[in-house]
Structure 1
């Protein structure tokens, strides 16, 4: 596969030809400026493809670390890689439920790996319940202190039930904040997450 932003790809972007772009682009090597144009493209199908490629990019180790073989170098390369993905994300929670779900999942992954990762203002958007649950889950995984102000209810319960200890930035803090709510449902989930964390060696 080839990834340079040649005339074929530029033309495909102009025509919103998602099929051609999907054939030509590789998430691992697609230029950042091209990904940025795709996730902000006026055509929904191009934005969806761009976000899908960005999600693959988020899961791909940065090759920039080369053969140094040092943990510190790998950590620095990984941090730079995540910063790049975060920089390319749009500032909005998406314009459709499907797009918003993709964005929520990306933010959840970044929030678990980047301290103080900021989310778009999803609470102000008119989103379906399943999408709000996904955004609340992303918020909890990155910053469990949100539990101090989030009202108990089915939205919160489902967001916690759909969370895993390995996905959280600080699993221990997430468990502690759940226990501190005093809510029996959240207390049960805290026990589940604590057990999962122990089994995973977190």
Structure 2
């Protein structure tokens, strides 16, 4: 499951940073057609992209009789870290369209540092857990935006989509009723004697 975390720990230990969230995605075009599968992770300073590379070891290693024993972890044997993007250069937007959960990553206009490019549209993967991933990613991005002032720009809108209901928007009124206590003998005598 935590393939990026494992690759960082085993192959890129000098830049290792714990990931807040990691999940499978599919890069889609504007019409929703899948282009490529990715594993994307979010740390407190960068966005990491990884994907499977089935030609990573090539055919020359298959001739070695001990090639299958050289592999550290079967889950990451064909997995590559593709790129690391500092969070200062990206903006996240989250959408729901029917039963699809979508994350759009774009480059905000930052002066002349990076030219704006077309946004990348990723659909959350994992049929069973996609709603969970959707909520977790939005919460992590919202937390980063709140706690790190240099990352206030990473979410162009509210971390909640328009289909969500926020508890803060609805005013709740609670009435507290004092539980009925039977009167004691003392209070009955006091009231019948003309006191208070």
| TMscore range, shorter length | under 0.3
Q: Could you say which structure has the higher strand fraction?
A: 2
TM-score when normalising by structure 2: 0.23
Structure with bigger RCO (C-alpha 8 Å, 6+ apart): 2
TM-score when normalising by structure 1: 0.23
